[in-house]
Structure formats: C-alpha cells, structure tokens
C-alpha cells in the first residue's frame, strides 16, 4: 500500500480506498485542507485506521461468539419474574448487600420498598428532630429525615456469595399483547448446575423469613387492567400479639389449639388417609368493635401466615374471578371474609328481580290502569316501595338487593368446599349478625368452629387498662438528649417494671415532658377501680379503648373521668344516637 501511494500524486486516495470519499461526508474537503495547510496527507492514516477498525470488529465478533457459546454451554441461570413475591424479596436482599454501596448504577426512590416493614425501627427519629418551636409534631420535618432507598438499576452487575461469583442482570421487556413493561432478574453462575443458585435463593428466603418473622403480610383482591383479578400485597405490618385481643382466655386457647392441630404436617396425611378434605373454617360473630378482625391478625402472627382479604361486594368481581383468586392461594394462609352478612350474597341471580317485583306487587293499588307506560310503572313502583317500607322495612331489603354482588351463594359454596376447591388454607368469616347468614353457609364442614365475641366484661376492661398504661412492650429509640438517656438508664437499672406515662409539661413551647411513674401494684389497683365503674356487657372493647386513647398519657385522668364518660355513652346508646358528643 505504501509503495502504491509513493507513485500517486499527493492528495490522491489509493484505489483500495476509492470509496472512502463517497462514504465519509467532507472527507475530500478535509483532506485537501490538511494537505494545503500542513502538507499532511490524510490518506496516510486512513488505511491504518480502517485496519485497526477491522481488527476491532473482528475481535468483538470473536468475543461475542465465544462469550455466547461459553454462556450457553458453561453457565447456569435462573430467572425470576416481577409477578412473583420472590422478585421483591430478592431485590430487597440485593439492595442490602455491599454491592449497592460500590455500584455506579443505582436506582433511588423515596418510597419504602414493598418487602420492608412499614414500622421498621430504622426510620425512628429523635423527638427533637420532628417537633416545631411550639412542641407540636411537624410532618415536614419528619419527612425530611426519611431515608432514600437504593436498589440496582437495569443492567448487569456482579456479587460474591460463598466464594462464588454470580452475575446479576435486571432487565425489562415490553409485552406486545398487554402493552406494558414486564421486569425480571436473571441470576447466573459458572458451571452446568443450578444448585449454587438454588442455595442462594434459599439463603435469600431464609434471610427474608428471619427479617420478617414477626411481620404479617396483608393481601387484598385487586383488579389489574390486563391480568384481571389477583392478590396484591397492600401492607406488611408487625404481627399482633394474642394478649392484645379482648377475648375469653378459654376461647383463645381453644381456637389456637384447633388451628395448630390443623396446620400440623401430619394432619394433612391423616385427612387424606380417611378421605376427608383438608379444610378448616371458622366463624367469628359478635357486636361491632369486639375484636373479630383483631383475632384474625393475631392468629396470623402466631402461626406465621399471611392474610388474604377478599371483598365480595366488588361490582366487577364475578364468580370465575373469585374462583381464580382462591386457586392462586398459597399452600398455607388465612382467607378473611369480613362482614359476610353484608356481602350481598344471594341464592340465585334472579332473586333480586323476584324480591323487587314481589314488593312492588304487594304495594300496588287495585285501581292501577293497565295501559300505563313502562317508565310510569317503574316510578310508581319506587314510590310504593318507599311508602310501604316505613312500616314493613321492605325498603332495606330492596336497597340491599340493589347493592348485591355478582357472587351467588351456590357459587361461593362451590369455591369454598367444591370438588376443585383449595385445601390447606384457614377460612375465617366475620359477621355482626350471625342470624342473617344462610344455614348452608355455616353448616358443619364449612364452618367447623364458631367463636362468640361479647361486649366487654370487667376482666377484659381491666386487661385493656393495664395494656394501655403498661410499658413492658414499649421500645423507645435513644434520645440525643443526654439527660433523657441518663434518666432512662437509671430507670432500667432499678429492675422494676413500671409504667412511665408522659404528660405535657407546664412550660409552653419547650416540648419537654415530665414522667408519671406507676408501680405494677398501683397499675393493677387502678385497673380494678376503672373496671368496677363500668357496666359489664354494655360497652364494646373498642369503645373502652377509644376512651383510654384520648387519655393515653394520663391514667389518673382516665380513672377520674370514666364515670362521666360512661353516663354519656349509655345515654347516647339508649337514645340510639349515631353522632356522639362524648369526651
């Protein structure tokens, strides 16, 4: 090439590079300018550049070809899609690793990851950081202390586990059918066995279990635009203690023992050997505010189960959708159907029309004209139903029928214990009015145990008072104030289990608090006095707790004002007032 160029005039491209002038815009002009200004022929380096470029492309092709064959024949991979809970768990685990600190490509978010507990203690801040000058809580100051969460961005990264290097790839692809982006992660390691990846995934699950062993995940039925109805994790909350549920101890022990026996691995084999479906149903019934839902959450915490809440009143929820939801339930879980009496379940789909027609006919005048238009008849029908309902209460029935769900009783029963129904789950139904339930819904085999919740007894009232003003379960973050820390330490060293209730200090704007210390004996004595001033089986545990919450830092004030509060509450109940002015 050099020998050929020596016989060519300056600025003339060798024959092998003749197409360069046409392929590279401005090459001819630049070449002539460089030659005129510096006497330098650009074509001298053009051939060298093309040679290097060709070698680079050949090397890149060889590398990609070799890497592709190496990945295909010498590595193993596992993919996790974003519609699986394991995806969220793995992202949370990988975000907690050191690679997140070293990586140069991260995704930042101010929203808490779904796999993280909402009440995680890592987000506790000192009181002085969230109070304004007047000593009031300032949300803007509190939100300013919320941490930023980081996770790997889309692309490739690497990490080491058990002295083995893993390749981690977070990708997304567009689903042409649903027209949305679907995310997934691919975990890859060297070797023709996936066992190292399986051990890693098991480690991640164990890590998640250890981290959230005292948390309960709550799932609710939600409709996706493309995937239809599915379970969506709404919250992850600390598990509720059984001691916080206001219920007779005998009934607590009874249901815990029953569920424990049902969930035992040998029980499933025992059921199968005798041809009995491995299912268990419970009915919690009683007045509102007596702790039916609270017991469900406490049971989930005891046995480490997640709660799946299905709303049967959703207008777009069909029986096929509900069947799909029940089919997708995990092997062990609690299915919670709250207020089953008001879910709008009917025996058949034509019942609504039959009830409406029968009510209209019963209230029809004898002298109705036969040539009335359809619209006129409908208008009169509604008026007659409204007038007649003042004495018979039929309007409530018709109103309930108009708000009926699309789930029939037969369809619900088939989903609960039909031939294709799911086994292994714990079904809990709650109701305020058990007498309104259809006998077919609560017959033995569908409801195996009924728990009756009553209004607050004196023993329950005493427990609520002690629980409200006891600090055995309180965990207070360390304060930046050395004086407060010193006081806390001295109290802890005393070894006495005391109640320290905060009252607003006399100094305005300082935000300081003085402590009222109650000994265990004094707390028990006050609880007995408090319970003795309230009638038994007249107030719900929720009402008693609501009163104490208004005085959660003032046990003496709660005891002094309970009689006045009781009189107002009972008077309001006697007059059936829905809007109460009770302090």
Per run of 10 residues, the mean pLDDT along the chain (length 583 residues) is 52 53 68 77 76 93 92 93 89 82 81 62 61 78 79 88 91 82 93 94 89 84 84 88 91 96 94 92 95 95 93 88 92 94 73 45 43 47 45 41 72 86 92 93 93 95 92 52 40 40 41 61 94 94 94 91 93 82 63
Separation of alpha carbons 187 and 206, rounded Å? 18
Among residues 21, 43, 71, the one where a domain terminates is 71
Give yes or no for a contact between 258 and 281, defined as CB atoms under 8 angstroms apart: no
**Residue 486, in any domain of the structure:** no
> Residue 19 phi/psi, 5° resolution?
-80, -5
pLDDT value of position 386: 45
**Apex 279 CA angle, 274 and 285, nearest 5:** 135
pLDDT of residue 356: 44
Q: Are 313 and 403 in contact (CB under 8 A)?
A: yes
- How high is the pLDDT of residue 516? 62
For residues 185 and 79, the answer to whether their CB atoms sit within 8 Å is: yes
310 and 414, same domain (yes or no) = yes
pLDDT of residue 553: 86
Instruction: Please identify, among 214, 236, 265, the residue that sits at the C-terminal boundary of a domain.
Output: 214
Q: Quick one: CA dihedral 116, 121, 122, 128, positive or negative?
A: positive
Evaluate if pTM is beyond 0.75: no
Q: Are strands 180-190 and 75-81 parallel, antiparallel or unpaired?
A: antiparallel
Number of structural domains (the chain) is 4
Contact 573, 543 (CB under 8 A): no
- Assess if residue 387 is contained within a domain: no
Evaluate whether residue 519 is within a structural domain. Answer: yes
Which residue, 214, 249, 273, sits at the end of a domain?
Answer: 214
Query: Within a domain: residue 187?
Result: yes
Tell whether 508 and 569 lie within a shared domain.
yes
In a domain, residue 381? The reply is no
Q: Is residue 445 domain-shared with residue 500, that is, in the same domain?
A: no
Six-digit token string for 13? 């491209």
CA distance 566 to 188: 66
Which residue's structure tokens are 């409204």?
386
Same domain, 9 and 109: no
Q: Are residues 435 and 549 in the same domain?
A: no
Residue numbers of the domain that contains 567: 458-472+494-574
Do 190 and 233 sit in the same domain of this protein? no
Alpha-carbon gap, residue 542 to 16, rounded angstroms: 92
């Amino acid at each position: 090439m050099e020998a050929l160029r020596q016989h060519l005039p300056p600025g003339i491209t060798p024959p092998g590079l003749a197409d360069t002038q046409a392929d590279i815009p401005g090459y001819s002009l630049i070449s002539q300018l460089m030659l005129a200004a510096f006497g330098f022929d650009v074509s001298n380096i053009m051939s060298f550049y093309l040679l290097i470029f060709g070698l680079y492309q050949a090397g890149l092709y060889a590398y990609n070809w070799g890497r592709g064959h190496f990945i295909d024949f010498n590595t193993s991979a596992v993919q996790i899609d974003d519609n699986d809970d394991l995806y969220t768990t793995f992202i949370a685990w990988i975000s907690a690793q050191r690679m997140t600190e070293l990586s140069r490509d991260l995704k930042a978010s101010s929203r808490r990851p779904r796999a993280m507990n909402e009440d995680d203690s890592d987000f506790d801040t000192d009181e002085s950081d969230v109070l304004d000058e007047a000593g009031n809580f300032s949300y803007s100051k509190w939100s300013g202390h919320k941490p930023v969460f980081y996770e790997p961005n889309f692309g490739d990264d690497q990490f080491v586990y058990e002295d083995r290097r893993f390749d981690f790839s977070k990708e997304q692809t567009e689903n042409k059918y649903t027209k949305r982006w679907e995310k997934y992660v691919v975990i890859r390691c060297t070797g023709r066995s996936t066992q190292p990846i399986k051990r890693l995934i098991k480690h991640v699950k164990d890590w998640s279990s250890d981290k959230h062993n005292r948390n309960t995940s709550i799932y609710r039925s939600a409709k996706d635009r493309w995937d239809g109805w599915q379970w969506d994790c709404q919250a992850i909350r600390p598990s509720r203690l059984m001691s916080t549920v206001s219920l007779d101890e005998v009934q607590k022990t009874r249901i815990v023992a029953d569920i424990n026996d049902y969930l035992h691995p040998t029980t499933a084999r025992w059921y199968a050997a005798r041809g009995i479906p491995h299912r268990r149903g419970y009915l919690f019934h009683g007045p509102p505010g007596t702790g039916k839902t609270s017991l469900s959450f406490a049971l989930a915490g005891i046995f480490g189960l997640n709660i799946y809440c299905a709303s049967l009143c959703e207008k777009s929820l069909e029986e096929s959708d509900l069947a799909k939801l029940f089919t997708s339930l995990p092997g062990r879980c609690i299915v919670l159907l709250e207020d089953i009496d008001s879910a709008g379940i009917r025996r058949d789909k034509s019942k609504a029309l039959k009830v409406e027609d029968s009510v209209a006919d019963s209230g029809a005048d004898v002298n109705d004209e036969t040539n009335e238009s359809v619209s006129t008849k409908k208008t009169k029908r509604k008026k007659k139903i409204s007038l007649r309902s003042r004495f018979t209460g039929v309007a409530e029935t018709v109103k309930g029928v108009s708000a009926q769900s699309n789930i029939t009783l037969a369809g619900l029963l088939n989903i609960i214990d039909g031939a294709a129904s799911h086994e292994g789950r714990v079904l809990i139904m709650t109701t305020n009015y058990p007498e309104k339930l259809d006998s077919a819904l609560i017959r033995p085999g569908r409801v195996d145990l009924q728990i009756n919740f009553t209004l607050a007894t004196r023993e329950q009232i005493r427990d609520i008072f002690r629980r409200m003003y006891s600090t055995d379960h309180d965990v207070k973050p360390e304060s930046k104030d050395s004086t407060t820390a010193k006081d806390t330490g001295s109290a802890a060293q005393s070894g006495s289990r005391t109640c320290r209730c905060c009252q607003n200090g006399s100094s305005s704007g300082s935000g300081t608090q003085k402590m009222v210390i109650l000994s265990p004996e004094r707390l028990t004595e006050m609880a007995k006095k408090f319970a003795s001033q309230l009638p038994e089986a007249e107030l719900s545990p929720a009402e008693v707790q609501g009163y104490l919450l208004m005085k959660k830092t003032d046990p003496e004030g709660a005891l002094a004002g309970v009689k006045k509060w009781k009189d107002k509450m009972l008077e309001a109940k006697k007059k059936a007032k829905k809007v109460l002015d009770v302090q």
